[in-house]
A and B are shown apart, each in its own frame.
Chain A
Amino acid sequence: MGIPMSLDVPGARRDHVWGLVSDAFEVLHAANRRFSRFDASSEVSRYGRGEIVPWEMSDDLREVLAVAERASADSGGAFSVRRPDGSLDTDGVVKGWAAQRAVDVLRAGGLTRFCLNAGGDVAAAGEPEPGRGWNVGVRDPADAQRMLAILEVRDGAVATSGLYERGHHVWDGRTGEPASGLVSATVVAADLMTADVLATTVLALGPEGVDWARDHGAVAVIAVLPDGRVTTGGAAREGAFV
């Protein structure tokens, strides 16, 4: 499975930033290799089969599992990296975690203005041009040509988790049932890892997750109910849209 990524660096000359960009993308490649469920020899696959003892775990795997553990505890068990059949699926953590690491690489390299989109999860830094933030469209789950909202983001992140692309890949860890209370959840937060984990958790929790997320680091939440109605929380509630 390929996750499309794009990185927009305004005003940059390709030869000046290409090394840094390559380093950032390499972080994502490395995460993909380590955490691929589709590769039986990846570390996460071997861990899932019980072939790795705790002291052999990489720091990366340890960190991802710790993030998952925290999200599970914070959500009363709704967020879980154990699928209903008992197998391990860290996808709910890894994409945001890896993209955030890529962002860290870019920042450490001195970039202050960029916008990274990793499979629909967006991290923005600075301004694309003086006086305005990055305009991040939030896709309407029912129609790819339409936007539910446009969020103006300076230093922050927007992540969306939805059922419309990969079907019912999110489940409610409390019941083991596929999540069905919402068709999509978009979360704005200070960093991409937080936004991504919260978006998945809101989807798992259903409508009650909208207010929950605000108490757990979300700046704004936009969620779509199965009947197409939109429900919002946080800053989005006071916003001019919907």
Chain B
Amino acid sequence: MAARPWRGTLLYVGAVAAMAAAGIAKFAGVAPEVAAAPAATATTGSSGVGSPDAGSADSSGSSDSGTTDGSAGTDSGTDTGGDASSSSDDVTIVGDVEQTRYGPIQLSVTFSGDTITDITALQTPSRERESERINQQAVPVLTQEALAAQSAQIDTVSGATYTSQGYLESLQSAIDQRG
């Protein structure tokens, strides 16, 4: 596929319905978002249980998400394209508009070096009530997964998931454009 040199593990991404299999390179670069190392304790059988990420470590089960609602993944139709102005290494690339059965989806992806640090949905399908409900949920979930997938601390995320192929395709096009 790409003539790019190989730098990390390969993360294949596809969808059951239409597996045009976008291959997403998962780079070894360390994402800083998740600070706490999972202290692997209580190893029973095949698994152990670690600590959650920093910031929620002390709560005894209360999952009131409260304030820290990161802006990633929510549809803020604002900062379109161009370079993000923060650190000189950051670059934001706007992915292609991909059509889904519910309407168009378009993402902008911010890279810091080889690491994806933010994904913003510039357009999400909202043609029908049903699809709004799906996208309110699905886009943040997918953003979390895409970010987590290249984090040094979390390899993958378990959760109830729904998505469209369009998300993956727009994400892939942004990665491809970066080259």
Known: A3-B16, A145-B69, A146-B65. A9 touches B60 (CB 8 A): no
Contact, CB under 8 Å: B159 / A138: yes
Contact, CB under 8 Å: A8 / B160: no
Q: How far is the CB of A222 from chain B (nearest CB, A)?
A: 9
A92 within 8 A of B: no
Contact, CB under 8 Å: B141 / A234: no
Known: A3-B15, A21-B12, A140-B63. A236 touches B49 (CB 8 A): yes
| Chain A residues, CB < 8 A from B141 | 139, 144, 165
B47 within 8 A of A: yes
| Chain A residues, CB < 8 A from B138 | 165
Contact, CB under 8 Å: B11 / A8: yes
Among A136, A156, A186, A234, residue most surrounded by chain B Cβ atoms (within 10 Å) = A136
Contact, CB under 8 Å: A239 / B42: yes
Contact, CB under 8 Å: A149 / B50: yes
> Which residues from 223 to 242 on chain A have a C-beta closer than 8 Å to any C-beta of chain B?
224, 228-231, 234-236, 238-242
Q: Which of A11, A147, A162, A224 contacts B154 (CB 8 A)?
A: A147
Contact, CB under 8 Å: A239 / B49: yes
Q: Which of A51-59, A68-76, A82-90, A117-125 contacts B (4 or more CB under 8 A)?
A: A117-125
Closest A residue, CB atoms, query B157:
A137
| Chain B residues, CB < 8 A from A141 | 63, 159
In the complex, which range does the number of interface residues on chain B fall in? 35 or more
Contact, CB under 8 Å: A140 / B65: yes
Contact, CB under 8 Å: B9 / A120: no
> Which residues from 111 to 169 on chain A have a C-beta closer than 8 Å to any C-beta of chain B?
115, 117-122, 128, 132-156, 158-167
Contact, CB under 8 Å: B46 / A154: yes
Contact, CB under 8 Å: A156 / B18: no
Q: How far is the CB of B12 from chain A (nearest CB, A)?
A: 5
Report Cα–Cα, A148/B160, bound state, in Å. 14
B81 within 8 A of A: no
B48 within 8 A of A: yes
Report Cα–Cα, A13/B43, bound state, in Å. 32
A198 within 8 A of B: no
| Chain A residues, CB < 8 A from B158 | 117, 120-122, 136-139, 151, 158-160, 186
B40 within 8 A of A: yes
Known: A2-B164, A165-B162. A145 touches B70 (CB 8 A): yes
Q: Which of A24-32, A172-180, A205-213 contacts B (4 or more CB under 8 A)?
A: A24-32
Contact, CB under 8 Å: B159 / A139: yes
| Chain B residues, CB < 8 A from A120 | 157-161
| Chain B residues, CB < 8 A from A119 | 16, 161-162
Report Cα–Cα, A4/B24, bound state, in Å. 13
Q: Which of B46, B70, B149 contacts A190 (CB 8 A)?
A: B46
Closest B residue, CB atoms, query A157:
B46
Contact, CB under 8 Å: B168 / A4: yes
Q: How far is the CB of B110 from chain A (nearest CB, A)?
A: 16
| Chain A residues, CB < 8 A from B56 | 146-147
Contact, CB under 8 Å: B157 / A14: no
Report Cα–Cα, A240/B148, bound state, in Å. 21
Known: A142-B64, A144-B143, A242-B59. A6 touches B156 (CB 8 A): yes
Provide 28 A-B residue pairs closer than 8 Å at the C-beta atoms, listed in order of the A residue: A1-B17, A2-B165, A4-B161, A6-B156, A8-B10, A117-B156, A119-B161, A120-B158, A133-B47, A135-B153, A137-B148, A144-B141, A147-B157, A150-B38, A152-B48, A156-B47, A158-B47, A158-B158, A161-B160, A228-B63, A235-B42, A235-B45, A240-B41, A240-B42, A240-B51, A241-B49, A242-B59, A242-B60
List residues of chain A with CB under 8 Å of any chain B CB. 1-14, 17, 21-22, 25, 28-29, 32, 115, 117-122, 128, 132-156, 158-167, 184, 186, 188, 190, 219-220, 224, 228-231, 234-236, 238-242
